[in-house]
Amino acid sequence: MHEEPTAGHNNAKKMFQQIYEKYYWPNMFKDIRGYANTCDDCQRRKGLQQNNILHLIPAKASFQRIGIDIMGPLTITWQGN
C-alpha cells in the first residue's frame, strides 16, 4: 500500500483510509504512521516537493507532441494481469 509502483508513497492518513477498507487491528493508525515515517524514499524526498506552476507547451498540429508515462515491472495479479 505504500511502496508498490502504483501506490505513490501516500502519507499515513491516506494509507490508513485505503487499508481500513479491508483490514483492522488494534493501534492500526499508529502502526501505519510509524511505517510511513520510516520510509527511506519519503525521508529523502521530504521537503523537496513544491507547488510549481505548470506551463503548457503549445502544439500547433495534432500528434506534434506526445507524452508517455512508463512504469514497471509491475507485480502480476492473481488473475494473471
With respect to residue 64, please indicate whether it lies within any of the assigned structural domains.
no
Which pTM value belongs to this model? 0.53
| HSE-up (13 A, CA, CB side) for residue 1 | 17
With respect to residue 31, please indicate whether it lies within any of the assigned structural domains.
yes
Tell me, what's the pLDDT at 48? 53
With respect to residue 78, please indicate whether it lies within any of the assigned structural domains.
no
With respect to residue 17, please indicate whether it lies within any of the assigned structural domains.
yes
Task: List the domain range (segments joined by +) for residue 37.
Answer: 12-45
Each residue's pLDDT tens digit, 43-70: 777 755 566 677 787 878 888 888 888 8
With respect to residue 61, please indicate whether it lies within any of the assigned structural domains.
no
With respect to residue 70, please indicate whether it lies within any of the assigned structural domains.
no
With respect to residue 29, please indicate whether it lies within any of the assigned structural domains.
yes
Count of structural domains within the chain: 1
Q: How far is CA 30 from the centre of its chain?
A: 20
Tell me, what's the pLDDT at 59? 79
What is the DSSP track for 14-62?
A: HHHHHHHTT---TTHHHHHHHHHHT-HHHHHHTTT---PPP-----SST
Q: Match 506526445 to its residue by C-alpha cell.
A: 66
